[in-house]
Amino acid sequence: MPANLTYLGVELARPRVAFFELSSCEGCQLQLLNNEATLLDFLSLVEVVRFREGMTEAGDDYAVAFVEGSVTRADQELQLAEIRKKAKVMVAFGSCACFGGVNQLKNRFSDQEWVKREVYGDFHVDTQLARPISDVVKVDLMIYGCPVKKEEVERIVTDLLLGKAINHPKYPVCMECKANENICLFDLGEPCLGPVTRAGCDAWCPSNRMGCWGCRGPADAANIPQMARIMAEHGFSTETLLDRLECFGGFAAHVEEIRKKG
């Protein structure tokens, strides 16, 4: 790795970064390790001091903290507070960290003790409602997706190094789907949240003939009533719409509004 990075002749610092995981599958971190083609170039941008999936060293001197996973235990709240004290930039890394992710599906059950008994029996488990990390600490940046899109992570990290503003797409996944010249999945009999979900994944799922489940959360000015009408016009029930909107937690406010209307 080069000792000094430059951009247009200007020397750039390599920030010290650390990766942490809370309640998650750790798939977002794995995405980075899977990026063999550009992994060395990515690592040349930063100095990784902690990354349990990829190294045995575990330093505590870092400027940027990438946190994957949702908060489901009291000790994780304390861990997050310590990370926040040390990090200049706190990044919510993936849908679990941003919205609660798949973990927050358990929040739909009013009796959490019943949930624990059904899943773990008599074995004691310290678990609470699943929450995004922003419920506990201040988050400076969110990187959406389940898992994250590795190319997007590289772009965002590069922009951070260059001091550029981090701008997520304001338009929905449908725009990327059309740009990729995909056949609309509704025409193939598949429900899809592409019309209301924030773009940035290059229509990853629809391009592989899988309807979008909204892992990136709502696009700006997402028109949920129109989404409901599109679903109904193609023969899908309100429950089908709610199943998708509820999956990752990003549409929680919209789900609550739909349920209130009955």
Give the helix ranges, DSSP H, for 37-184: 39-45, 74-86, 95-99, 112-120, 150-162, 173-179
Tokens of 126: 């310290």
Identify the pLDDT of residue 162.
Answer: 82
pLDDT digits (tens, 9 = 90+) for 162-194: 888 999 999 999 999 999 999 999 999 999 999
List, in order of start, the domains of the chain with CATH numbers. Answer: 5-162 (3.40.50.700), 173-261 (no CATH)
- Intervals of the chain under pLDDT 70: 1-11, 262
Q: List beta partners, residue 81.
A: none
Residues 32, 199: Cα–Cα separation, whole Å? 20
What is the structure's pLDDT at 149?
Answer: 94
Question: The pTM is what?
Answer: 0.91
Which of 76, 98, 195 minimizes the C-alpha distance to 146? 98
Q: Which residues pair with 89 in a beta bridge?
A: 64
